[in-house]
Amino acid sequence: MKIYSADERRRALAMLGIGIPVLSVSHAIGADPETIRRWAKFPNGRGPSGLRPRPKVLRDTKLRVPKIRLDSETKARIVALSKEIMGWDGEEVNENSKIVCKKYSLSEIAEQVGVSKSLVKDTIQEDEEANRR
């Protein structure tokens, strides 16, 4: 792809300004007619800066983070901690306990095991999905 100078763009706009058709301008400059049409739109509201070549943005560069794999022992520990419960009053759960709650939050489990909170959440979700099957 050729990068056209600001002078070439000005020349094309001048030709359009005196009534030369887009197709003729594109042949004279050596640019695609759609490129000439696009140049004709730039100066409106942008002034002379609309004539300068714009830098290309690389859109195909994606940050790819490798998936962290936990060993089965660590997964089992996360799942066990996530299933620990206690009575609402902080006491151990027994047959008389009416309200129970989880003993550890995701953050607490992550801190104990030494992994991220999102990894703990993903591991618990995987375990719940496996138990549903």
Per-residue pLDDT of the chain (133 residues; tens, 9 = 90+): 677 887 888 888 889 889 999 999 999 999 999 988 888 876 554 555 556 655 555 555 566 666 778 888 999 999 988 888 765 555 665 666 566 567 788 888 888 888 888 888 999 899 888 888 7
3-state secondary structure (DSSP) of residue 94: coil
pLDDT at 45: 46
- Structure pTM? 0.45
pLDDT at 7: 84
Give the span between the Cα atoms of 111 and 105, in whole angstroms: 10
3-state secondary structure (DSSP) of residue 102: strand
Q: Are 78 and 91 in contact (CB under 8 A)?
A: no
Q: Where are the domains of the chain?
A: 6-51, 72-132
3-state secondary structure (DSSP) of residue 67: coil
